[in-house]
């Protein structure tokens, strides 16, 4: 597994999932809160993948140019940033337009129906 990741599992969990994953989560929230399109999140996740590879190399002597490690790290970061983006977008839509929308699960919202007579 270390040859695929380009580093140990502990470093992968610590750097990619915890440290850079937190940065990805916060980036997703910031993009959603500023009404940026979703494709911006993917671009930022790709850039965070480069940061992740460099920190793994500089701090823990991991492989800098590990293509499989970069792809796995970036895939994890894309998932984290897109989840954060969608959760924040749903929260913002319902919070900003409470007369139009209501929550429909963690990731979505739906249009409110007409008021029911009593």
Return the domain boundaries, the chain. Answer: 2-111
On whether the CB atoms of residues 29 and 35 are closer than 8 A, the answer is no
Task: Give per-residue pLDDT as tens, 19-44.
Answer: 999 999 999 999 999 999 999 999 99
Q: Per the structure block, which two tokens stand in for 85?
A: 């983006």
CA separation (Å) from 10 to 6, 17, 31, 118?
12, 10, 29, 59
pLDDT at 23: 97
pLDDT at 6: 87
pLDDT at 3: 84
Task: Give per-residue pLDDT as tens, 84-102.
Answer: 999 999 999 999 999 999 9
DSSP codes of every residue in 31-97: HHHTT--HHHHHHHHHHHHHHHHHHHHHHH---TT-HHHHHHHHHHHHHHHHHHHHHHHHHHHHHH-
* pLDDT, mean over the chain: 92
């Amino acid at each position: 597994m270390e040859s695929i990741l380009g580093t140990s599992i502990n470093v992968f969990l610590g750097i990619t999932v915890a440290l850079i994953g937190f940065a990805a989560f916060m980036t997703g929230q910031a993009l959603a809160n500023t009404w940026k399109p979703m494709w911006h999140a993917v671009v930022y996740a790709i850039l965070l993948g480069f940061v992740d590879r460099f920190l793994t190399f500089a701090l823990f002597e991991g492989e800098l140019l590990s293509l499989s490690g970069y792809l796995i790290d970036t895939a994890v970061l894309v998932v984290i940033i897109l989840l954060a983006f969608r959760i924040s977008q749903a929260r913002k839509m319902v919070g900003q337009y409470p007369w139009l929308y209501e929550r429909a699960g963690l990731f979505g919202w739906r249009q409110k129906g007409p008021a029911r007579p009593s």
